[in-house]
Amino acid sequence: MKQLPNLVTLLNLLFGATAIVFILQPGESIVNYNGEEWKVYLPEKIQWGAILIFFAAVADFFDGFVARLVKADSEMGKQLDSLADVVSFGVAPGMILWQLLRIAFAYEETGLETPIGWMLPALLVPAAAAWRLARFNIDPEQSYGFKGVPAPAAGLFIASLPLIAFYDYLGLQALLVNKWVLYGIIASISYLMVSKLPLMALKFKTFTIREQWDKLLLVLAALLTALFFQWLAVPVVFILYIVLSLATQKKST
């Protein structure tokens, strides 16, 4: 029973590794309608890769829950959790951005000849995630608050992008296969992870509305936006999470 939480953590890792396999499968196509409109068709494998990152997040949540349930918290579990998170919420999302950049450049006249160096910025995301997780492991002050955006939150934000593009919510597909928008996302997410911005952790010290209103508001917003906006809810809640955290000026404790 003592190893059960670690097995759940390994499930997180397996989901992340499998996601990478799906994400790296080629197959996207760009179709020109009547010489006027271009539309990208993302292969379903990329969508499954993105969904597997969400499965990894579920496993990441439950490993801590199981550890507390069987009273099997350990230093090994802490390190294993971070190693799994680097893969699932660092490397896999980085590969999604790599593929979206490839598609963005494919729109251009000589896009298929684009040097690999133009895609390398996507690797800043796994590097930032590794930095963020390593700093978290040696910082005892992040129990009920975070310094910088947690890697899982950043990873889920990025995982939602190909799903939003696939269903073309609000016509956002063209925006999400624009190289400058993608570079902006890479820079912003990487900065948010390595920053020391005081952000809330979704752990409830008490259940009184007065003391936990910000967390309860975030949960309510997540439910409502998911109901009406489906995958588009993920970036909406992500932005709200940062705004609420900064507005309430919660310090990590």
- Quick one: average pLDDT of 189-217? 75
Residue 231 within a domain: no
CB 79 within 8 A of CB 137: yes
For the segment 64-86, what is each residue's pLDDT rounded down to a tens digit? 777 777 776 777 878 898 999 99
Q: Looking at residue 83, which CATH number applies to its domain?
A: 1.20.120.1760
Could you list the residue range(s) of the whole structural domain that residue 120 is in?
4-200
Q: What are phi and psi of 246, to 5 degrees?
A: -70, -35
Higher pLDDT, 10 or 218: 10
- pLDDT of 168: 81
Is the per-residue pLDDT at 126 higher than 60?
yes
- Quick one: average pLDDT of 174-194? 94
Structural domain total, the chain: 1
Residue 228 within a domain: no
Which residues lie closer than 8 Å to 40 by C-beta, 6 or more apart?
28, 29, 30, 31, 103, 107, 165, 173, 177
Collapse the DSSP code of 83 into the 3-class scheme (helix H, G, I; strand E, B; otherwise coil) and give the result.
helix
Higher pLDDT, 31 or 129: 129
Please report, rounded to a whole number, the percentage of residues in the chain having pLDDT higher than 70.
82
At CA 133, angle to CA 84 and CA 131, rounded to 5? 115
Higher pLDDT, 163 or 45: 163
Model pTM? 0.84
